[in-house]
Amino acid sequence: MRDLDYLKLLSKEFPNERKAGAEIINLRAICSLPKGTEYFFSDLHGEYRSFIHLLRSSSGIVRDKIQETFGNLLSEKEQLELANLIYYPQRILENYSVNGENTPEWQKLTINRLIRICKVASHKYTRSKVRKKMPADYGYAIDELLHLDENDADKKLYYKEILNSIIDIDRGDTFIIALCELIQNLTIDSLHIIGDIFDRGPRADFIMDELMRFHDVDIQWGNHDVSWMGAAAGNLACIATVLRIATSYNTFDVLEDGYGINLRPLSMFAAEVYGNDPCDCFKPHILDENLYDEVNPELAAKMCKAISIIEFKVEGQLIKRHPEYHLENRLLLDKIDYQNGTVNIDGKDYKLKDTNFPTIDPENPYELSAEEADLMNVLKFSFVHSQILEKHIRFIYSTGSMYKICNNNLLFHGCIPMNEDGTFMQIKTPHGTFAGKALLDFVGQKIVDAYFLDEKLQFEEKEEAADLTWYLWCGPNSPLFGKDKMATFERIFLNEKELFVENYNPYYALSDNEQVVDNILREFGLDPEVSHIINGHVPVKVKKGESPVKANGKLFIIDGGLSKAYHTQTGIAGYTLIFNSKHLALAEHKPFDPNRENTPEIKVVEKMKERILVKDTDNGKELLSQIDDLKDLLDAYQNGLIKQKG
């Protein structure tokens, strides 16, 4: 029997045998239901239009539910129109109103159709759970409509009167919106984001807003996320990195309109220092248009060059502060021959494409000029005092981690650093040597320290942890990066493409080896016979024949390139991994186009031997433990150890 003091506490919630018995009945019934559907996304990279569409369409599952509900009763065109209504109810209703199609008859027909889809989408949930997902205003009406007895003539009249009342008091639109949002919530039970929400794409802040509204979400940090977390903590190298990528990819809206980062000082500084410099090596990738903060491409190039030079300087200072990083080979500003316009890398001289460095002192190349130092102080103030950025970063911390173990799946963004023989790489730090799971636990705590330690009381510890967030962004032994170098300098200033190569950690070559994957799973306490690894970070080049499924189906890489920057390399636009009670399936995304059908192609990659029930899940194990506690409480009541109330 459980500890009597604990049972006394439990008795406050279940004060008698009747209450405790009723809860046991309820929990056992829940355990017998099929598990909810989990969705896994990776590498969103600010592509909010694509992601929001995939989220609202459940990566094509909503279309499947419509087909399952109506079969051939609705044409393909009618099914597509109904699907678009579920994805974007407000916009579609406005269009129908403008066209005069949003009539009372259409609303009644549409509500009936949506109710039927709700029934199909909710069949594996308890009535109580479905009620919790309903909007409070319409919960009673929706619940009654969902549970109509078709054989009861009186109930049919009741059903009809509910519909008439909704239409008569002009609540058809809001009721339809409520039903559409309920369908969206019913088709995704939980959401896993396997890293890299930020950078490259136009509006990561919109993605964060959408995630914060979602009912059950967790995040496994990616290296792009951690650089933003470091920037929010005030680390200058991370701030410069974030700004260099944003100016390079023309994503000014997310900085100024999204997070209120004041870029005017940077633009003024860049215009003054590089006024006559064309900055050809820094021209932005125009993947998306800025709607609110349109920046001239020539000025954007100057801003990118200004912050890039600052980035190389503050990174150099950080590398010198941390000899344990072993990144001396990335100190390149002192390898430049400023008179001849060359740089020496690994003993060989290379001609620079750009030799105009007015802010670099050749005798002290890593020292910021007075103007650069003032600029970075202003930019740091903007980052650490942005209320919206703080809200988003705190959400990333509260729902996030370096890895997650969930229902026999191990989720992490990048890699487990390994040696070529398949053993875990031993990483030496000032705090000890770490490998495998212990390494991810160690750096996870440091990421937390970077943001939450008190700067006044623990300045050195906080600075060390914040510096580590930068290393995790681009360091060769970082489990979030997993390459031997970040070749930013070479890509900007040199023509020799062989210098652009970033060699992957052996983990990536070994990840197709089933035995290696089994060892990783065991390292994290999982049974290789029933478990999987799910990670992202490396785009799967489908057009070159690469597969997201590796190690005999035990590892999934679900970064297929949601970011527009990768579409030419991958040939697709990412993956969603879908895990329901019957199977694992991969949804292969098309490059998003608002003017055409975007439903992904779904392929089942593994069928479960038996249907997975709630009792078989992590949540189910907790429910079974609660049932055992309640049984002990019943015994305590029956034996007179605890007095019943009520």
Tokens of 12: 């406050």
Confidence of residue 207 (pLDDT cuts 50, 70, 90): very high
Task: Identify the weakest region by mean pLDDT among 53-67, 265-279, 296-310, 415-429.
Answer: 53-67
Specify the pLDDT at position 255. Answer: 94
* 83 shares its domain with 127: yes
Q: Provide the residue range defining the domain that includes 26.
A: 4-33+624-638
From the list 321, 238, 305, 318, the residue with the least C-alpha distance to 270 is: 305
Could you tell me if residue 309 is inside a domain? yes
- Which of 143-147, 271-275, 298-302, 532-536 has the least mean pLDDT? 143-147
Contacts of residue 164, Cβ cutoff 8 Å, sequence gap at least 6: none
Q: What is the CA radius of gyration of the chain?
A: 28
Q: Are 203 and 48 in contact (CB under 8 A)?
A: yes
**Higher-confidence residue: 151 or 578?**
578
Enumerate the β-bridge partners of residue 575: 588
Q: How confident is the model at residue 567 (pLDDT cuts 50, 70, 90)?
A: low
Are 307 and 243 found together in one domain? yes
Q: With H, G, I as helix, E, B as strand and everything else as coil, classify residue 103.
A: coil
Assigned domain for 311 exists: yes
Q: Does 172 share its domain with 246?
A: no
Q: Report how many domains make up the chain.
A: 3
User: Which whole number is the average pLDDT over 97-106?
Assistant: 90
Quick check: 36 and 125 in contact, CB under 8 A? Answer: yes
Residue 336 banded pLDDT, cuts 50, 70, 90:
very high
Same domain, 16 and 104: no
Residue 565 clears pLDDT 70, i.e. is over it: no
In a domain, 292, yes or no: yes
Indicate if the pLDDT at residue 13 is higher than 90: yes
pTM of the model: 0.90
- Same domain assignment for residues 158 and 240: no
Q: Are residues 116 and 167 in the same domain?
A: yes
Q: How confident is the model at residue 574 (pLDDT cuts 50, 70, 90)?
A: confident
Q: Are residues 336 and 246 in the same domain?
A: yes
Residue 558 lies in a domain: no
Res 593 pLDDT > 60: yes
pLDDT over threshold 70, residue 543: no
Confidence label for 558 from pLDDT (cuts 50, 70 and 90): confident
Structural domain contains residue 288: yes
Confidence of residue 145 (pLDDT cuts 50, 70, 90): confident
**Same structural domain for residues 248 and 338?**
yes
Mind listing the pLDDT tens digit for each residue in 347-393? 999 999 999 999 999 999 999 999 999 999 999 999 999 999 999 99
- Domain final position from 338, 363, 384: 384
User: Could you tell me the two tokens for 259?
Assistant: 């997070």
Same domain, 250 and 162: no
Q: Is 199 helix (H, G, I), strand (E, B) or coil?
A: coil
Element (H, E) at 337: strand 336-337
Question: Are residues 63 and 154 both part of a single domain?
Answer: yes
Among the candidates 356, 384, 412, a domain finishes at 384
Could you tell me what percent of the chain has a pLDDT over 70?
Answer: 93
164 vs 42, residue with greater confidence = 42
Nearest to 219 by CA among 199, 188, 193: 193
Same domain flag for 138 and 261: no
Q: Residue 593 is which amino acid?
A: D
Sequence-ordered list of residues with C-beta below 8 angstroms from that of 511, at least 6 positions apart, any chain = 415, 517, 533, 550, 551, 555, 557
Residue 345 pairs in a beta bridge with: 348
SS3 of residue 580 by DSSP: coil
Query: Is the domain of 297 the same as that of 345?
Result: yes
Please write the tens of the pLDDT for every residue from 409-451.
999 999 999 999 999 999 999 999 999 999 999 999 999 999 9
Q: How far apart are CA 11 and CA 20, in angstroms?
A: 8
Indicate whether 536 belongs to any domain.
no
- C-alpha to C-alpha distance for 270 and 255, rounded to whole angstroms: 17
